[in-house]
Each structure stands twice: as structure tokens, then as C-alpha cells.
Amino acid sequence: MEALEATRAGRAAWLALSSVERSACLRRVLDHLRTSTEWASHLGCLLGVQRAEVESEFRSLEEWSTGAGQWTDPESGSLRATEPGADLAVVFAEWTDLVSGLFRRIARQLEGDRGVVVVSDKRWPAGADALSAAISAAGLPTGVVSVLHGLPAPLRDTLIGMAAGESSSEPEHHARVRATATPIALDLGIPELGNRSFVVKLEHEAGEGLREAAQMVVDQAFGRAKTLSGQRPGRLARVICHARVFSKFCEHLVAALEASSDVREPLPQIDNEAINSIRALWNLGLDEGATLIFGGESFEAAPGSRARDPRVWPAVYCNVDPEMALSRIRETAPVLCLIRAESDEAAEQLARDLD
């Protein structure tokens, strides 16, 4: 295919650059994205993403550009060496990547000395276009990143067969336990992949601990900026709470949900077919005997709103048993399960099992 041949030619020119030059090229891509407004306007017009989410994207790009060098050796400023692998990689852009996420995925492949074929998401082709324009403006070798739009399924399968899929060997892709920045709870899971669990401990009954934990859960399960109203991979899907503080935590959680502007004004469901799977999850929870304590319904956008429908309230279930299918959902959807545990240790172990 022409795209593969062009990408191989571009890769050869990319490899001819020194690691410092390649790192500088990637920084120029970021600089272009940070000063461009076209893709940001598309976020609002086509996806209904609000100002807070656009600003969050700009902050992510700023952190990449001004940090110690996510893809570089902090001491030399040059591109890090990685394990050898296939010469090309296929990256399927997802609208949930927005711009910062797609850049990270492409940079990871370039870091591995691979040319990249990007297959854009038909729901938001502007994301792939923005990267393409930035890469061109930054002076990367022509073709080292090739963007394809409107690719039929058979051609997608052919591409996967002719080039490597995305690598998943990076350390951050492996399950691990990591403490949160605050002592409120333990956040276990795989960042940016799958659904995660949040553990609330008995010791946080004192003071404002439960209230703060409830707010953290709302932000990480349904926040517009962090999760695109529960549509982004890596969101919280489960809270595992010590049985002695379960009722109090539920009270604080419902209060936080009712007070949250993110919950009152969720972003539209970008995937038009997502509403069907969300409704299936709502019914699954009720069929398995869980108790719906908040949300679980759809509503229309306000008259005159540019946001596309449908939009849905988050659905929160309590009395969820770890053996229920609801507790192990892998779909990316605004659904949260509340699970009791008899001890902090049991809660942490259960979180590891479910994640």
C-alpha cells in the first residue's frame, strides 16, 4: 500500500536524524499544537466538549512540552533508546484520545524508531488532522507519520497484518498499585486503560475524610475534564468501601453528585451507539439486584445547545456483590458500583482482583 511505502521512506529519513534532533522535532510539534486554535474549536463544535476540557488539553500539552522530557533522556535531552521492534506501527486514533493522548501514542512509536500509520476516528477526524498539520509544520520527515481517513474495515485488517500493532510493553501498561497524592483512599489500577477501583478505608471516617473521598470519586468517575463525563478509558468504575463507613460514604457521595456541575451538565455521548450499551448496563444492575441510588436516565440537551445528543446522567449502584457481572464491567460508561468490604485489607485485595 502507498501509505506503508511512504511511511517506510519517512522512517528512513527519521532514523537519519540524531536523537537530539528527533527530540527537538517532537517539541516543535507540541509548540505548534499549543498555539493552534483550529482543533480546539472543533472540540467544542463537533464533540460538544466545553471550555474546561479544552483548557485541560492545553495543560496536558504544556506539561509535555515543559516537563523533564516524557520521551527524552532528562540529562541529555535526546530521544531515549528503546527495544528494537517492527519498522512500522498502526495507531488507531480514538476520539477519546483528543489531541494530547494521540500525540503521546504517536510519540511512543517514534521513540521506538517506527514509522507510524494513523487511522483517524470518523467521529472526530480533526484530531488526526491537527497532529498531521503540526507534524508537517515541525519539519518531521515527510511520511514518517501518515494519516488515513475513512478506512474500510477490510483495509484496516490488511494494515494490521502488514504492520505492527501498538506496543503494550511499557511499564505503565502493567497493573500496579500506587498510592494517591492524598491519604484519603487507595487508587488501584492501570492508568488510562480499562476501569479502575477506588478504596475507602475505615481510618477516613474522622474529619472531612469521607467527604473529600466522595468528591475525588465524582471527579475521577464522572468529571468532564478528567473522564469526558465517564467516556474516557481509565475512569473509576468501582468504589470498595469498608462496611462500617459505607452508609456515611454513600451519603457524602450522593451529596457530591447533586452538587457537581460536571454531573448536572454531562458531555454528550460521542459514540452514537454507546447509549445502547449504557442502557444494557443499567438493566444489568437492576436485574442482578443492585440498588440504583443516583441517575440512570438520559435527557435532552437544552434548546439551542450545540452539543449533540444523547447525554446521560451517571448511574450509581450500591449493594453490588463482587460476584455480580456489574462489578466487573470493562465497558467505558458512566456507571459506578459501590461494594462493601469487611476490612481495609479485604478491600485492597478485592480491588486488585477486580482490576
**Least confident window among 60-69, 120-129, 199-208:** 60-69
Return mean pLDDT, the chain.
Answer: 76
* Mean pLDDT calculated for residue range 226-238: 86
More confident residue, 194 or 242: 242
Is the predicted pLDDT of residue 173 greater than 70, yes or no? Answer: no
pTM of the model: 0.58
Give the CATH H-level superfamily of domain 172-354.
Answer: Aldehyde Dehydrogenase; Chain A, domain 2 (3.40.309.10)
Sheet holding 236-242, edge to edge: 176-179, 185-189, 196-200, 236-242, 335-341, 315-318, 291-295
Going by the DSSP 8-state scheme, the letter that residue 140 receives in this structure is P
**Boundaries of every domain in the chain:** 2-169, 172-354
CATH of domain 2-169: 3.40.605.10
Residue 19 has a pLDDT of 81
Nearest-Å Rg of the Cα atoms of the chain is 22
Q: How far apart are CA 30 and CA 41, in angstroms?
A: 17
62-89 per-position pLDDT tens digit: 776 665 344 444 444 444 433 444 788 8
* Mean pLDDT calculated for residue range 343-354: 91
**Least confident window among 64-68, 171-175, 279-283:** 171-175
Residue 171 has a pLDDT of 29
Is the predicted pLDDT of residue 351 greater than 50, yes or no? Answer: yes
More confident residue, 296 or 322: 322
Residue 155 has a pLDDT of 64
Of 272, 292, 293, the C-alpha closest to 284 is 292
